[in-house]
Every structure is written in structure tokens, then in C-alpha cells.
Amino acid sequence: MSINDFNSKAMFIVSNTAQIEMFKRIIEDIKDFEIKFINTEVFSILDEMDGLLNKYGFDYENVDNWSMDLIHNILGNDHPNIIISAHDQSPVDILFIKAANELGLPSLTVQEGLLAVTRFVNKSVSDKLVYMIKMSLRMLKLILNPYRPFKYKTSRLKFELEYGRGYSYAYGHGDSSKIALFGDNTKNMLVSEGVPPEKLVVTGNSKFDNLFPFKDPIKKKGFREKYNVPLDKKVVLVLTQWFVESGVWSAEQRKIFVGEIVKACIDLSDVQLCFKLHAPHESEADYREILEDLPLSPLIYTTEPIHEIICMSDVVVSVSSTAALESLALDKPVLIINLFDDEGALLFKDGGVLYVEKADMIQSALEKLVYHPMENVDWDKMEKFVRDEAYIIDGNASKRISTLIRKMALKEI
């Protein structure tokens, strides 16, 4: 049986622009499929989602009603041969995967970001008790979160009451047929947590496929000129994350984080400090407000292509972002700052980075990486970490994922 023997259709479930970009490259290798996107983030970044989906000419539908009846109607009307998501434990993804299973449709989850080293997996009786406490606190945070609109809060609360007790919210423990993973480390972790190994496929990720051109030193100079960054400065790039908007940090913690980095850079006169925000969730205005009382004026980037900004940098600073892994893949010295016990930061601790947990250690670490990177970066550890976390960065991850989609749609696996 060939893929042309039936109407081959893939349905992609997305909730942010990064997922659209990740899937776009994969779709280029399944051009014989009919493609449909389901946009589930309509409560806060609808304009950005609509804009990108229209830019790429994708057929899509916006969903703001988290109900099984609606999802069954969508699947019944569109008749996809496979469901692809970037998450298996967020509410709408859970419902689509559940509905696909009920209809006998294969579902693939494509890992979109790094996983924390230590994770809560809701399995034992004691786990469930802890889960109930954590859920109550999480719902309280959600209700009080000013960055989430009222309709999102009511939809989320309704989902939790109806389905929440059945899910651990530990990525990888959902009900999708297969999961396409970044690397072997993630697979080993999930297997140790009880996920069946036959469900896990190490493919690498399409977001790493376009890294090669950004290793070119000539491009570094070109991007400096493009963004009007002095060629004689050392660029320290801070990759931020939407911790405040997602309820992980308070606004005060973000202020402390930014302030301590600025403080560490004050005496480094030949350093240009830059911030790349996690658009569209983070607001430039929030950072401008923090910086207006500080003695430096860093450059702030929002929607500019992240690989261009990383390429022009000399040192990258982060807490735990996937972009920090991409920076390592581009041979950039990385400083991980973990002031608030972020579990994701621990993943990088032995990955050839400099790692600090105290604010008074930031300046010294930056000086080491800015002025003496060769002596202070464990390049062998860095290379191994990238391989273990991101598999083979050979430009073919999207092809490996698209091949998996094709085989699952044909029910060959």
C-alpha cells in the first residue's frame, strides 16, 4: 500500500509560534500530505499565531472550546490519518490524543524543549496526594496570574475538574502512540520513569537542522552590522524565558535576575549586553521598566530570528532554555545562572557550561568566558552534552521525523 492509495492528511496541534516553526521544516518533507493546523492558543497570542500561519499559507482552525465533542467533530470532519502534537500533557493536546485513540488514529508527539532532570511523576498513592496539593497551588497561581485572560482560566479550570486527576503533567507520560525525542538522554530518563521503550524514537529535532550556516564567522560579522552592534565589543547575550508569564517566577524574581546580570557587566567596559526575549509571551515594556533605573542600556531583541542573535554573540547566558542547547551546538560559551532553584538548569550543570547559583559569582564567571573561553570551557563535555541531548546535528532530523510520520500514517509501525 502506498501513501497515494488514500487521502493522506496530517493534523498538527500547536499552541505557540515556535511549534509552528518546528513543524514547518518537517512539513517540507511530506508535501504529498494534506496539512491542517489546529491553533489552541487563542486566548493571548492569537494575532501572532494567525499571522505566522497565514504567512506560511497553512490551512488552520482556531479552537477556544476545550470539549471532547468539538474535538470529535473536528476529527470527524477532517479525517486525518495522523495527529501530531508538540506536547502530550497540555490540556488540548491531551484531548486530541485521547480522541485519536478512541478513533484508532495514530498520534505522534514531537519533543519541543528540554526536560527537567528531576520531575514529578504522578503514579503512586503518595504521588497522587502530593499532586492534589500541587494542583491546588497551581490553580491558585493560575487564577491570580494577570498575564492569562479570564476565558483561558475558566477553560483550564473546567478541564482540571473533568480530566485533571487522570494526568501527571510529566512530559512523555501521555497517551500518544509514539514520541520523537531530542536525544538518548531523554529516552533513558523516560524509560527509567516507566515509559515503554518501544514508544520512544530518537530523531533529533528539526529546530537544530538549520544551525550549520550560523557557525560561519563571516556571518557573525554580518549580523553585528545588521543589528548595529559595535564590532569591537564582546557581546554577552541573555536568553530570557517566560517564567513570570507562566507563573514559575514572580515579577520581583525577574527584576532580581536582570539586575544582577546588569550589575555584573557594569565594570566590563568592552562588553555589549543584549537580551533576547521569549516572544511573543514576554513584553519588551516589562524589561524596559526594569532597566530604566539601572546604569546600563542593553540592546533588547524580541521577534528577531534567534539564531542570528546567537550567532553574533560571544557569550550566552541562560537559565534553562532550549536555545542554550542550540548555543552550545554553535560552539558558544554558555553561563547558566540558577538563582531560584530551577530544575531545568540542573540539566546543563555537567554539560561544559559555567554554572552559578549565587549572584556574587556572576561577574567572575562572565569574565572567564568573555576573556578566557578556551581555558574555562570544557569543550569535550560540551560536545558530548550536545550529542546526548540533541542526537546527531546533521541537518536531517526533520527528515527522520517526517519518515516516522509517513510510516505511522500508513500504519507500518
Give the integer Cα–Cα distance in Å for 182 and 190: 12
User: For 239-255, how does the pLDDT look when each residue is reduced to its tens digit (9 = 90+)?
Assistant: 999 999 888 899 999 99
pLDDT band at 138 (very low <50, low <70, confident <90, very high): low
Mean pLDDT of 284-294: 94
- For residue 109, the cross-strand partners are 85, 179
Cell 542570528 found at: 308
The C-alpha cell at 321 is 532554555
pTM for the full predicted model: 0.79
Contact (Cβ atoms closer than 8 angstroms) between residue 329 and residue 211: yes
pLDDT band at 392 (very low <50, low <70, confident <90, very high): confident
pLDDT above 90 for 329:
yes
Among 4-13, 176-185, 265-274, which stretch is predicted with the lowest mean pLDDT? 4-13
User: For 188-222, how does the pLDDT look when each residue is reduced to its tens digit (9 = 90+)?
Assistant: 999 999 999 999 999 999 989 988 889 888 999 99
> What pLDDT sits at residue 245?
86
> Would you state the CATH architecture of domain 212-390?
3-Layer(aba) Sandwich (3.40)
pLDDT above 80 for 86:
yes
Superfamily of chain region 3-119+170-208+395-409:
Glycogen Phosphorylase B; (3.40.50.2000)
pLDDT band at 3 (very low <50, low <70, confident <90, very high): very low
Half-sphere CA count of 307, side-chain side, radius 13 A: 16
Mean pLDDT of 222-234: 95
> What pLDDT sits at residue 7?
67
pLDDT band at 160 (very low <50, low <70, confident <90, very high): confident
Mean pLDDT of 289-311: 93
Residue type at 288 in one-letter notation: R
Cell 550589575 found at: 263
Residue from 318, 311, 243, 233 nearest 275 by CA: 318
Name the region of 391 (left: φ>0; alpha: ψ -120 to 50; beta: rest): left
> What pLDDT sits at residue 228?
92
> What pLDDT sits at residue 45?
75
> What pLDDT sits at residue 37?
98
Percent of the chain with pLDDT over 90: 69
Query: What's the burial of 109, exposed, middle or buried (CB within 10 Å: 0-12/13-18/19+)?
Result: buried
> What pLDDT sits at residue 223?
97
The C-alpha cell at 269 is 567596559
Mean pLDDT of 75-92: 94
pLDDT above 60 for 2:
no
Give the chain's largest Cα–Cα span.
Answer: 67
* Other Cβ atoms closer than 10 A to 405: 25
> What pLDDT sits at residue 5?
47
Residue from 247, 282, 275, 207 nearest 45 by CA: 282
pLDDT above 90 for 163:
no
Listed in order, the ranges of the chain carrying CATH 3.40.50.2000 are: 3-119+170-208+395-409, 212-390
Give the integer Cα–Cα distance in Å for 307 and 326: 8
Residue type at 168 in one-letter notation: S
Contact (Cβ atoms closer than 8 angstroms) between residue 272 and residue 233: yes
End-to-end CA distance of the chain: 14
Beta strands 271-276; 299-301: pairing state? parallel
DSSP string, 182-220: S-HHHHHHHHHTT--GGGEEE---GGGTT-GGGG-HHHH
pLDDT band at 147 (very low <50, low <70, confident <90, very high): low
Mean pLDDT of 389-406: 93
User: For 352-384, how does the pLDDT look when each residue is reduced to its tens digit (9 = 90+)?
Assistant: 999 999 999 999 999 999 999 999 999 999 999
Mean pLDDT of 151-165: 73
Mean pLDDT of 311-320: 97
Mean pLDDT of the residues in the chain? 89
pLDDT above 80 for 13:
yes
